[in-house]
Amino acid sequence: MHTGRELVGSLILTVVLLLVAVGSLPFLVTWGTQTRPVDAWAVVLVVVAAGSAALRRWPVVSFGICTVATSVYLMLGYPYGGILLCLAVAAYTVARRTPLRVAVVAAAAALALLLAHVFTNGTAIEGLMTFLPGSAWVVVPFSIGLARRLVVEAAQRQRAESERRALDDERLRLASEVHDVVGHGLAAIQMQADIARHVRDRKPEQADIALDAISRTSAEALAELRATLAAIAPSEAAVARESRAPTPGLARVGDLCARMRESGVDVDLAVTGTPRALDPAVDVAAYRVLQESLTNVAKHAAQRHASVAVRYTADAVEVDVANPMAPLAEVTEGFGIAGMRRRIDDVGGAITVSTGGGEFRVAAVLPG
């Protein structure tokens, strides 16, 4: 759209070119080198060439009008002057604002049209080399405009690529957050539902316990999901709900292990060192590693047993989850493990996923 700012800029440029081009005509009467004196027709052609700058919204049209006016001016034998400045501005604009192929064709046509004055003007033909400095008024600004355009387009491509990468990173972060919350909750609910279905006829009281656990687990997962979504797209109401929701962190690792035990996973928890407040991002990352690791035990492990260790050292916190694995069992890194690696990398930590000694182990060291 041709904005008001563009219109004002075009009008200012037109006025400046008119002042320079028309204002230089009296000096050409004295110092001009061509045979035809400056008259009313020269003024008209200069005004047309300068006025074409007002059509910058249509650069090919503007360049064409300016080229024709300049060529007629030179073929009539008027002296070189400010009209060539108008041509230079038009050449720059067409290179800056039109597709490369169109701009090159327009520039070539302009040079051919300008060359005509060498063969139609008796004085000019005495020195064909006079065309070379004249053509520079097209070639040089055209080259500058083209270079400027390429630089701007490269910057635009780089900015678009950066925005695309940022969007992809945000989508990955969102997918990871939802995966951690929903995946863990659904895995626990599935196991508790299997327990309830297995014991409902023989031990209905245990089925009731499993159903209570399903209700509690689903409520916690929903609250955590709402908090996650509120952090991604905050509103006043969402922030208020988020402030009431429990924040994932190592302070809740006991609750996490208890919830997994209710789901049928035998979890041994050992905490060494003095627990302390951690950076929120580090705290959440450590909790998510434990959560994802225990969820993987519930979904994939041959034996539903895991050993969880949390160690507070002087300048770091270490989390470790190990579970027995079947001999020759194949381990593949899926979305969950990739998400754990990303979380740990984001906070400047290190994570190791290993197998050996009949165990599958996830160990992470985080600053803190």
Task: Assign 258 a pLDDT band (cuts: 50, 70, 90).
Answer: confident
Residue range(s) of every CATH 3.30.565.10 domain in the chain: 249-368
pLDDT tens-place string over residues 336-359: 788 888 889 989 999 999 888 788
Q: In one letter, which amino acid is 117?
A: H
Answer left, alpha or beta for residue 174, where phi above 0 means left and psi between -120 and 50 means alpha.
alpha
Residue 366 buriedness (CB in 10 A; 0-12 / 13-18 / 19+) = buried
Encoded amino acid at 69, one letter: A
What is the band of 238 on the pLDDT scale with cuts at 50, 70, 90?
Answer: very low
**Closest of 318, 336, 239 to residue 282, by C-alpha:** 318
Residue 364 has a pLDDT of 94
Is pLDDT at 260 greater than 80 in this prediction?
A: yes
**Backbone φ and ψ of 24, nearest 5°:** -85, -15
Q: Which class would CATH give 249-368? A: alpha beta
Question: pLDDT tens for residues 213-228?
Answer: 777 777 777 777 776 6
pLDDT at 342: 87
d(CA 134, CA 117): 11
Tell me the pLDDT tens digit for each residue of 173-205. 777 777 776 766 777 777 777 777 777 777 777
Token output for 159: 């900015």
In 30-98, where do the E strands start and end?
none
- The pLDDT, as a whole number, for residue 318 is 95
Q: pLDDT digits over 26-72, tens only? A: 666 555 555 567 788 888 888 888 888 778 788 999 899 989 998 88
- Reference 265, options 300, 317, 225, 220; nearest CA is 300
Q: Are 185 and 220 in contact (CB under 8 A)?
A: yes
Residue 356 DSSP SS3: strand
170-200 as b/e, with b when 16 or more CB fall inside 10 Å?
eeeeeebbebbbebbbebbbebbeebbeebe
Q: Which residues contact 216 (CB under 8 A, 6 or more apart)?
A: 259
Asked whether the predicted pLDDT for residue 116 surpasses 80, the reply is no
Letter for the amino acid at 175? A
pTM: 0.53
Q: Which residues of 6-44 are buried (b: 16+ CB within 10 A; e: fewer)?
A: eeeebeebbeebbebbbebbeebeeebebeeebeeebee
Extract the tokens encoding 359: 């165990």
Give the pLDDT confidence score for residue 1 in this predicted structure: 46
How is residue 312 written in tokens?
């507070």
Q: What is the pLDDT of residues 145-184, one digit of tens each?
A: 999 989 999 999 999 998 888 888 777 777 777 777 676 6
- Retrieve residue 123's tokens: 């004085």
Do 114 and 138 meet the contact criterion of CB atoms below 8 Å apart? yes
Whole-number pLDDT of residue 240? 46
pLDDT of residue 34: 54
Give mean pLDDT, residues 7-12.
Answer: 73
Kindly give the pairing relationship between strand 316-324 and strand 350-356. unpaired
pLDDT value of residue 126: 52
Q: Distance (Å, rounded) from C-alpha 361 to C-alpha 293?
A: 9
> If 0-12 CB within 10 Å is exposed, 13-18 middle and 19+ buried, where does residue 237 land?
exposed
- pLDDT digits over 72-112, tens only? 888 887 777 788 888 888 999 999 989 989 999 998 998 88
**Of 317 and 115, more confident:** 317
Distance of CA 307 to the CA centre of its chain: 41
pLDDT band at 127 (very low <50, low <70, confident <90, very high): very low
Across the beta sheet with 350-356, what order do the strands follow? Answer: 266-272, 305-312, 316-324, 359-367, 350-356
Model pLDDT, residue 365? 95
Residue entry with tokens 């080399």: 129
Nearest to 114 by CA among 167, 74, 163, 168: 74
State the Cα–Cα distance between residues 142 and 327, nearest whole angstrom: 72
pLDDT at 124 over 70: no
Task: With H, G, I as helix, E, B as strand and everything else as coil, classify residue 324.
Answer: strand
Reference 363, options 324, 321, 306; nearest CA is 321
Give the span between the Cα atoms of 264 and 368, in whole angstroms.
32
